[in-house]
């Protein structure tokens, strides 16, 4: 009988953990190309790190090529083992925190841009309440695009995220927070500022490069695409040139309207914001306390 091949992995170091995180992100994104933005590295670098992980583990993790990206049977088992490994690490942190019978640790939270001016904003009050109940808790707040937040919560880099609900991903739980109304705006140097009854669909619009609700996507399709921006502040910058129209949250546009720099032209759409957490995440006293403050 042929003896089984010994595992080449002698120990699990920080380097192997980093490679496993890359692997989990690639799987979450569905391939190397989609993972480039999430990881912030090139596809070639991702390929090298995946090859390094396969060499260290002694197994083929995935098939990639013209047929697309697919996990091997060994890759599926490694993914499951990795989930258990990272879950055990998080569980260990939570247990140590509970040993002291008071809140301590770090809450890593991802938030999309320009939410602080929303009158129903619960995050600021939630963080304040968390610090009041656990003065030793450390807050690590990261402003990121919603797609990055979803991936960060799934792979464990973030404990919780606040994103617009434009889809539901498997593995995430969604807790409703508040709604955000959006309208179409022009600047004081745009032709429609003096003629708000004009046809808005004859003018160029700033198209967002982030995810949008289905209601919004249908509305954007009726406009002439004139420019792109990857966040709401970028949209405002371009609208203020007087060359474009743009859909902006009412709470964000309000100071500019008051100053006479922007005018609302017509209603837009409503965005529902949610707090997202990973279903696979082990109990975490700091996170659970924060979620309680949101309720």
User: Which segments within 218-261 are labelled E, that is strand?
Assistant: 224-229, 246-249
Does residue 9 fall inside a structural domain? no
Range of the domain at 238: 179-273
Which single residue is written with the structure tokens 């792979």?
A: 155
- Together in a domain, 28 and 157: no
- Together in a domain, 77 and 198: no
The whole-angstrom separation of Cα 95 and Cα 73 is 33
Domain containing residue 56: CATH number: 1.10.10.10
- Together in a domain, 22 and 149: no
Domain containing residue 118: CATH number: 3.40.190.10
Domain containing residue 222: CATH number: 3.40.190.290
Tens place of pLDDT per residue across the chain (295 aa): 444 454 566 677 788 888 899 999 888 888 888 888 888 888 899 889 989 988 988 899 888 777 678 899 998 999 898 888 888 888 887 776 665 556 788 999 998 877 777 767 788 888 999 998 888 899 999 988 888 899 899 888 999 999 988 888 888 999 998 888 999 999 999 999 999 889 999 999 999 988 788 788 889 999 999 999 988 899 999 999 999 999 999 999 999 999 999 999 999 999 888 999 998 887 788 898 899 888 7
Does residue 44 fall inside a structural domain? yes
- Together in a domain, 157 and 282: yes
How many separate domains does the chain show?
Answer: 3
- Together in a domain, 139 and 280: yes
The whole-angstrom separation of Cα 244 and Cα 242 is 6
């Amino acid at each position: 009988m042929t003896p089984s091949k010994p595992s080449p992995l002698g120990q699990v170091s920080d380097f192997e953990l980093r490679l496993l995180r890359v692997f989990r992100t690639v799987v979450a994104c569905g391939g190397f190309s989609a993972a480039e933005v999430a990881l912030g590295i090139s596809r070639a670098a991702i390929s090298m790190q995946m090859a390094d992980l396969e060499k260290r583990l002694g197994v083929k993790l995935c098939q990639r090529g013209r047929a697309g990206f697919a996990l091997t049977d060994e890759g599926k088992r490694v993914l499951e083992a990795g989930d258990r490994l990272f879950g055990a690490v998080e569980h260990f942190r939570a247990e140590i925190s509970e040993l002291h019978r008071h809140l301590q640790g770090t809450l890593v939270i991802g938030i999309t841009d320009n939410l602080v001016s929303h009158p129903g904003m619960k995050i600021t009050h939630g963080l304040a309440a968390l610090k009041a109940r656990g003065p030793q808790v450390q807050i690590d707040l990261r402003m990121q695009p919603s797609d990055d937040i979803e991936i960060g919560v799934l792979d464990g880099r973030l404990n919780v995220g606040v994103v617009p609900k434009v889809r539901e991903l498997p593995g995430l739980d969604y807790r409703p927070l508040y709604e955000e109304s959006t309208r179409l705006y022009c600047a004081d140097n745009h032709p429609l500022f003096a003629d708000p009854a004009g046809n808005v669909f004859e003018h160029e619009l700033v198209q967002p490069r982030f995810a949008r609700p289905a209601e919004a996507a249908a509305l954007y399709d009726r406009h002439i695409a004139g420019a792109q921006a990857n966040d709401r502040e970028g949209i405002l910058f371009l609208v203020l040139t007087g060359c474009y129209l743009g859909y902006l949250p009412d709470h964000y546009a309000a100071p500019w309207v008051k100053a006479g720099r922007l005018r609302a032209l017509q209603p837009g759409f409503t965005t529902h914001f949610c707090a997202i957490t990973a279903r696979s995440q082990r109990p975490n006293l700091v996170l659970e306390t924060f979620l309680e403050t949101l309720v």
